[in-house]
Amino acid sequence: MGCGRVGSTLAKSLEKRHHTVSVIDTEESAFRRLGDGFNGDTVTGIGFDRGVLIRAGIERADAFAAVSSGDNSNIIAARLARETFGIQQVVARIYDPGRAEVYQRLGIPTVATVKWTSDQILRRLLPAGAEPDFRDPSGTIRLDQLAAPKAWIGHRTVHFQEQTRGRIAWIDRLGEGILPHRESVIQEGDTLHVVIREELAEHAYAAFVAGPEEH
């Protein structure tokens, strides 16, 4: 629901991944953003109207994204998709971060536009470790991205994980994502994506800098 810049980009991205997409918008002219190559369905109407959703094919849909410019419309449509039509994969774009947190606790995944943008900027302004790439809704788990510390180059990932008390989710190496195993070794130029409990972040970053302990 919503064929603005976000909605149209999302629809085209999903179609490129070979998904069948229906797009709803109150303005027929909005569908121009999809371009001539778009093969999905377009439905003009209010996205939280039950009849409009049925015309768009929600009864056979696997997922629903509410990304119009209105918080209220998005959350009503998302709840309707989840509670009336039983769609499990639902997300709503919300501009008000306070509202987003409330709906997140109610079980409706949200993307708080202002908060997301500010978080992205903060990650690029602050020193490594000050702001994670991702933090789960409870604030317990964080995902951090960091360049392989010089002190750890040539050492096994299993030792890195033991001493930092974090877990390497994956490694970016020469443009490819790699899942580490017990014999994996950290190499120069690696980017590590590390999952850490929030209360252990200070310990983890100290271990990153200090390097491996002698066995």
Q: Is the predicted pLDDT of residue 95 greater than 60, yes or no?
A: yes
pTM of the model: 0.59
Q: Mean pLDDT over all residues of the chain?
A: 87
Strand 41-44 versus strand 89-94 pairing type:
unpaired
Token pair, residue 172, equals 């970016």
Which residue has 């039950």 as its token pair?
Answer: 50
Q: Please state the length of the chain.
A: 215
- For residue 24, pLDDT beyond 80: yes
> What is the tens place of the pLDDT at every residue in 128-171?
656 677 877 777 899 998 888 889 999 999 999 999 999 999 99
Higher pLDDT, 60 or 146: 60
> How many whole angstroms separate alpha carbon 127 and alpha carbon 106?
33
d(CA 112, CA 167): 27
Residue 85 contacts residue 59 (beta carbons within 8 Å): yes
User: What residues pair up with 23 in beta bridges, in sequence order?
Assistant: 42
Q: Quote the CA–CA distance of 65 and 85 in Å, as a whole number.
A: 14
CA distance linking residue 46 with residue 163, whole number of Å = 54
> Which DSSP state fits 47?
T
Q: Which helix (H) or strand (E) holds 187?
A: none
Strands 191-197 vs 141-147: parallel, antiparallel or unpaired: antiparallel
177 token code pair: 């994502």
pLDDT at res. 94: 85
Q: Which of 6-15, 151-160, 201-210 has the highest mean pLDDT?
A: 151-160
